[in-house]
Structure 1
Amino acid sequence: MQTERFEALIDAILAIIITIIVLEIPLAPTGTWGALFELRYEFIIYAISFLVCFNFWNVNNNIFSLVNKIDPKVIWTMGFTLLIFSLLPYLTTFVAENFYEFFPQFLYGLSFLITAFLSELIFHFLIKSDPGNIALRLTLGNSKIVLQTIVLVSAGMIIGYLFYPPAILICCLLSIVLPWILPKIKNLLGK
């Protein structure tokens, strides 16, 4: 199967998810800075959820630009991934309303981990469905990002359980930002 319609479906679902997330931000009851400040947790978790969505889109867009064909394993695994990912609007609101509670933060981190694990599975299926695609093999073959994500978010869950629940959100955010920053830091230190 060709990938264009499949990519369009993924894009549409992610656009809907982002739209629902932003619509879940309540309006300030008055037009003051104080009323807007009262919604700080809603805006923080919205920004993090937006980055999570954008990162998911960016990774998939970059990967699928290399893919020539897909098979039912890729389609169904991505479908299940999008099912888990579609919980993001609910989890965003749940965390915003219970910012310092462990359980909402844990569920947010768990959905993040499941999505990362399923993405790795999709990458494996993509390589199998398009075995002659050298560019895809090179791009996906040496990726340690999912392992780093699992370790970082799991550490955040432990810290969140024992001390500070928002550590889970912080670790989710770091798992997105660090793969961009670390190579730049290594280049600076290497020169």
Structure 2
Amino acid sequence: MNKSRLEAFSDGVIAIIITIMVIEMRIPHGENMLALMPVLPVFLSYVMSFIYVGIYWNNHHNMLHASGDINGAVLWANLHLLFWLSLFPFVTGWMGENRLAIAPTELYGAVLLMAAMAYFILQHTIIAAGAQVLRRAVGRDWKGKASPMLYIFGILSAQWSPTFSKAVYAAVALLWLVPDRRIEKTLMQSKD
């Protein structure tokens, strides 16, 4: 299969996920800046989720750029990732509406964890399909291995402090905001 179709489909799904997240935010009642205070937790949850979706979109694009053939296993692994990403609007809204509640914070972390695992599965499915450039680029992948551990820590810490848990989730996002040039470097080296 042509990987451009897979990328276009994934881009469309990710765009819809972002659209749903922003539509879920309610317009505050009132005309001054104080009217924004009740919706601030929802907005902050949206910002964090938007950053996460953006990170997945960017890394997904780079990963597909380094891939070779797309087979049925890759298609299913990609759908698996998109499933977990499609839950972001729900968990974002629930966590934002219940800012200091334990269960929404834990579920948010669980969806982050499952999306990370789905990305890992997709990455290794693409490598198994013959993407040697991606195999070299991924290397030890310390961020990919550390992130699930941090998500689990965040999920468990929600029992005693949902605020701390959210800080752990934000820290993982910040970790991934630092540009990861491994794939780009490996692609440039393979062209030489």
TM-score (norm 1): 0.88
1:5 aligns with: 5
Offset at residue 137 of structure 1 (A): 1.2
CA contact (8 A) 1:100 1:166 kept: yes
> CA shift at 1:166, angstroms?
2.8
CA contact (8 A) 1:70 1:129 kept: yes
Q: Residue 135 of structure 1 aligns to which amino acid in structure 2? A: V
SS in 2 for 1:166: helix
* Residue matched to 2:156: 158
Separation of aligned partners in 2, 1:35 and 1:180: 31
- Percent identity, aligned pairs only, is 26
Q: CA contact under 8 A between 1:2 and 1:68: conserved in structure 2?
A: no
AA aligned to 1:89 is: P
- Contact 2:45–2:95 under 8 Å retained in 1: yes
Give the direction of change, closer, same or farther, for the CA distance of 1:17–1:179 in structure 2 (3 Å limit).
closer
Q: Counterpart of 2:175?
A: 178
Contact in 2 for aligned 1:102/1:165 (Cα 8 Å): yes
Shift of 1:58: 0.8
1:111-142 superposed Cα distances (whole Å, 9 cap, x missing partner): 10011011111111111102xx4321111232
Match of 2:136 in 1: 138
Contact 2:68 2:129 in 1 (8 A): no
Contact 1:149 1:172 in 2 (8 A): no
Q: Which residue identity lines up with residue 103 of structure 1 in the other structure?
A: A
- Deviations along 1:59-86, one digit per CA (max 9) or x if unpaired, are 1011111112111111111112211211
TM-score of the superposed pair, with normalisation by structure 2: 0.88
Distance 1:179 1:94, change over 3 A: closer
Secondary structure of 1:100's counterpart equals: coil
Within 2, Cα distance between the matches of 1:142 and 1:69?
A: 23
Counterparts of 2:65 and 2:110, CA distance in 1? 28
Where do 5+ consecutive residues of structure 2 fail to align? 181-192
Whether the 8 Å contact between 2:158 and 2:165 is mirrored in structure 1 is yes
RMSD: 1.7
Per the alignment, residue 33 of structure 1 pairs with 33
Residue 27 of structure 1, CA deviation: 0.3
What's 1:64 paired with? 64
Query: By how many angstroms is 1:150 displaced?
Result: 1.1
Amino acid at match of 1:170: A
C-alpha distance in 1 between matches for 2:175 and 2:98: 26
Q: Separation in 2 of the partners of 1:151 and 1:95?
A: 21
Partner of 2:105: 105
